[in-house]
Amino acid sequence: MSAATAGDAPAVAWETVIGLEVHAELRTATKLFCGCRNSFGEEPNTNVCPVCLGLPGSLPVLNKAAVEYAMRIGSALHCGIQASIFHRKNYFYPDMPKDYQISQYDVPINVDGWLELSGGERIGIVRAHLEEDTGKTTHVGGGGRIHEAGYSLVDFNRAGVPLVEIVSAPDIRSSEQARSYVEELRAILVATGASDGKMEEGSLRVDANVSVRPAGSGGFGTRCEIKNMNSLRSLGRAIEYEAARQVAVVQGGGEVVQETRHWDEAAGRTGSMRSKEEAYDYRYFPEPDLVPVDPGEAWISAVASALPPLPASRRAAVAGASGMDASSDAVATVVRLGLDPFVEAVAGGPGSRENVAAIAVRRLANEVAAEIDSVGRLSPASFAALVRMEADGSLTAAQSRTVLKELLASGGEPKEVAGRLGFEAMAAGDLEAVVEEVIAAHPEEWARFLAGEDKLTGFFVGHIKVATEGRANLGAASALLRALRG
Ligand code: ADP
Ligand code: MG
Ligand code: ZN
């Protein structure tokens, strides 16, 4: 955040501190404590029974698949998985028929893990516990706001749907990092099969705790919790707005009040919703109708060993094959779009392996990513052939990009497409001759280059490009220059 001044006081740079609470609905066939179907978008109040309607005398039975999904999430987030206890969290709300929510309190199933962002930073995970979802109220009229609505409707299909709430440590420092955290978490949830991660359907919901402090200070400011962001974009906007609001409060001589605030997407601001609840407001006590869940070592290790490759390890694999930085945007893009099999196809073949795979990553992160809907037309074999043609100098980078666009648009084989476009390979001998000419024409620069002035590579490459009217493979040209230097 930018520096700001208050009166004559020295400028203070402010830092934003963020902790996120993410609720993920689990992809089970049935609800957490009853056999009702867990299904989105159905006729209201059709997936209900005495248990999820909270009728007297009904008893909950824990869904084993939900426990397994929670364990997969915990394992993927490097948490300790432990024997856990369900509690009743008591509060009144019309969409919660029992007037309490079965959740986990002081002994959650997953504790103390971390998540690695695509940029390489680690964000601590405090806990990831199991709980049941509430029903859904719809306020009719008055723009959907409760105080202006004519009446409200309640749908209990969602009541009792299994959730895992993932609570991060206050390790996040910017709105971009918050978005990157949610993207990474969503990718992990989808990869483990635990959740579909659909923010637009409400199966992934994010609350943001935000505070500000003078940059460099060790303590934490008072936080506000923001609710109701239903896209990554509104998460980012809400955090930016809230941090600026808190800075203005503090600089105006006021104090931030700890409270829950509501993000108003249309107005682009947060508004006070209610004062912060404390744990005692909820009168937590152990759920008497459920026994503690102890998954045991064997089940925990079976879950851990059955996890699929997760985004961070896939990024590491792409980086290892290509020699590129695992935290680079290009590698992140390749993995996010599921293009890593193309890198594997290239890395497995002949040629200078790393160089070829690095070219593959660049083409995938740029040209292929830009036309991702057409990726079905690109076979791994023809992509690999194209990348090898670029790597061995038979195509320049610009020609290779053009051929790739053509492959994405209409399919085909790269050799044939290159021929059709009139891209003739420049023989290695021809390139050498041009390089010699350019060197001869610039003896002074060549002497400086020989003496170690590396930045002159660009100077020579530029002249080679002009001399060959853009037909030279510039990577091959700079390799040749280095080779001549010895
Ligand atoms: P509570 O039990 O009151 O919800 P927690 O300690 O569980 O409080 O924290 C909830 C969330 O708030 C966590 O994600 C945590 O990282 C975040 N958080 C805690 N303190 C701060 C702070 N000063 N600024 C920003 N986020 C914070
Ligand atoms: Mg909390
Ligand atoms: Zn039910």
> What secondary structure does DSSP assign to 229-277, as a single string?
E-SHHHHHHHHHHHHHHHHHHHHTT--PPPEEEEEETTTTEEEEEEEPP
Do the Cβ atoms of 110 and 78 come closer than 8 Å? no
Q: Return the ligand 1 atom nearest residue 170 CA.
A: 16
Residues 239 and 288 in one domain: yes
Task: Please tell me the predicted confidence (pLDDT) of residue 467.
Answer: 87
Residues 252 and 137 in one domain: yes
Q: How far is the CA of 47 from the centre of ligand 3 (A)?
A: 7
Ion ligand 3 — residues with CB under 5 Å? 34, 36, 49, 51-52
**Which residues sit with their C-beta closer than 6 Å to ligand 1?**
17-21, 167-170, 209-211, 220-221, 223
Task: Please tell me the predicted confidence (pLDDT) of residue 285.
Answer: 97
> Nearest residue CA, atom 13 of ligand 1?
19
> Nearest residue CA, atom 2 of ligand 1?
279
Ligand nearest to the CA of 156: 3
Sign for the CA dihedral angle at 331, 337, 340, 342 comes to negative
The CATH number for 478's domain is 1.10.10
Residues 410 and 464 in one domain: no
Q: Return the ligand 1 atom nearest residue 127 CA.
A: 7
Residues 145 and 65 in one domain: yes
| C-alpha–C-alpha distance, residues 274 and 287, integer Å | 27
> Nearest residue CA, atom 24 of ligand 1?
211
Residues 363 and 341 in one domain: yes
Residues 328 and 223 in one domain: no
Ligand nearest to the CA of 166: 1
User: How many residues are present in the chain?
Assistant: 486
Name the pairing type of β-strands 122-132 and 136-140: unpaired
Name the token pair of 147. 């105080």
Contacts of 357 (CB under 8 A, 6+ apart): 318, 321, 322, 323, 343, 346, 347
Q: Where are the alpha helices (DSSP H) in 276-339?
A: 296-305, 311-322, 329-336
Do the Cβ atoms of 457 and 481 come closer than 8 Å? yes
Q: Return the ligand 1 atom nearest residue 278 CA.
A: 3
Task: Please tell me the predicted confidence (pLDDT) of residue 224.
Answer: 97
Do the Cβ atoms of 260 and 227 come closer than 8 Å? yes
Q: Return the ligand 1 atom nearest residue 221 CA.
A: 23
Q: Return the ligand 1 atom nearest residue 276 CA.
A: 3
Q: Which amino acid is at 203?
A: S
Closest by Cα among 364, 362, 389, 387 to 375: 364
Q: How far is the CA of 170 from the centre of ligand 1 (A)?
A: 6
Q: How far is the CA of 140 from the centre of ligand 1 (A)?
A: 33
Task: Please tell me the predicted confidence (pLDDT) of residue 4.
Answer: 47
Q: How far is the CA of 51 from the centre of ligand 3 (A)?
A: 5
Residues 22 and 159 in one domain: yes
| C-alpha–C-alpha distance, residues 135 and 46, integer Å | 12
Q: How far is the CA of 66 from the centre of ligand 1 (A)?
A: 26
Tens digit of pLDDT for each residue in 127-144? 999 999 999 999 898 777
Task: Please tell me the predicted confidence (pLDDT) of residue 2.
Answer: 45
Q: What would you report as the CA-atom Rg of the chain, rounded to the nearest whole angstrom?
A: 29
> Where in the sequence is the domain holding 362, given as residue range(s)?
311-420
| C-alpha–C-alpha distance, residues 308 and 76, integer Å | 9
Q: How far is the CA of 278 from the centre of ligand 3 (A)?
A: 30
Do the Cβ atoms of 318 and 342 come closer than 8 Å? no
Domain final residue, candidates 305, 321, 343: 305
Residues 6 and 85 in one domain: yes
Q: Return the ligand 1 atom nearest residue 21 CA.
A: 14
| C-alpha–C-alpha distance, residues 408 and 391, integer Å | 20
Name the token pair of 271. 């508004």
Residues 133 and 17 in one domain: yes
Do the Cβ atoms of 385 and 463 come closer than 8 Å? no
Name the token pair of 105. 């309190």
Q: How far is the CA of 48 from the centre of ligand 2 (A)?
A: 28
Contacts of 376 (CB under 8 A, 6+ apart): none
Domain final residue, candidates 369, 397, 420: 420
Per-residue pLDDT of the chain (486 residues; tens, 9 = 90+): 444 444 455 678 999 999 999 999 999 999 999 999 999 999 999 999 999 999 999 999 999 999 999 999 999 999 999 999 999 999 998 899 999 999 999 999 999 999 999 999 999 999 999 999 999 999 898 777 778 889 999 999 999 999 999 999 999 999 999 999 999 999 999 999 999 999 989 999 999 999 999 999 999 999 999 998 989 999 999 999 999 999 999 999 999 999 999 999 999 999 998 787 777 789 999 999 999 999 999 999 999 999 999 999 999 999 999 999 999 999 999 999 999 999 998 886 655 566 899 999 999 999 999 999 999 999 999 999 999 999 888 898 999 999 999 999 999 999 999 988 888 766 667 888 899 999 999 999 999 999 999 999 999 999 998 888 777 888 888 888 988 887
Ligand nearest to the CA of 20: 1
Name the token pair of 221. 């400011």
Q: How far is the CA of 20 from the centre of ligand 2 (A)?
A: 9
Domain final residue, candidates 378, 399, 420: 420
Residues 126 and 258 in one domain: yes
Residue from 209, 222, 246, 261 to probe ligand 1 pocket by mutation (most atoms less than 8 Å from CB): 209
Write down the pTM of the prediction.
0.85
Q: How far is the CA of 150 from the centre of ligand 3 (A)?
A: 29
Residue from 22, 167, 224, 255 to probe ligand 1 pocket by mutation (most atoms less than 8 Å from CB): 167
Q: Return the ligand 1 atom nearest residue 20 CA.
A: 14
Ligand nearest to the CA of 278: 1
Name the pairing type of β-strands 259-264 and 269-275: antiparallel
Sheet of strand 100-104: strand arrangement: 100-104, 86-90, 285-286
Do the Cβ atoms of 442 and 460 come closer than 8 Å? yes
Q: How far is the CA of 60 from the centre of ligand 3 (A)?
A: 9
| C-alpha–C-alpha distance, residues 401 and 395, integer Å | 9
Give the Å distances, CA to CA, from 134 to 95, 156, 158, 177, 283. Answer: 6, 8, 6, 29, 18
Q: How far is the CA of 162 from the centre of ligand 3 (A)?
A: 12
Task: Please tell me the predicted confidence (pLDDT) of residue 88.
Answer: 97
Residues 95 and 54 in one domain: yes
Do the Cβ atoms of 178 and 232 come closer than 8 Å? no
89-103 as b/e, with b when 16 or more CB fall inside 10 Å?
beeeeebbbbebbbb
Q: Return the ligand 1 atom nearest residue 167 CA.
A: 14
Tens digit of pLDDT for each residue in 5-55? 444 556 789 999 999 999 999 999 999 999 999 999 999 999 999 999 999
How many domains is the chain partitioned into structurally? 3
Residues 93 and 213 in one domain: yes
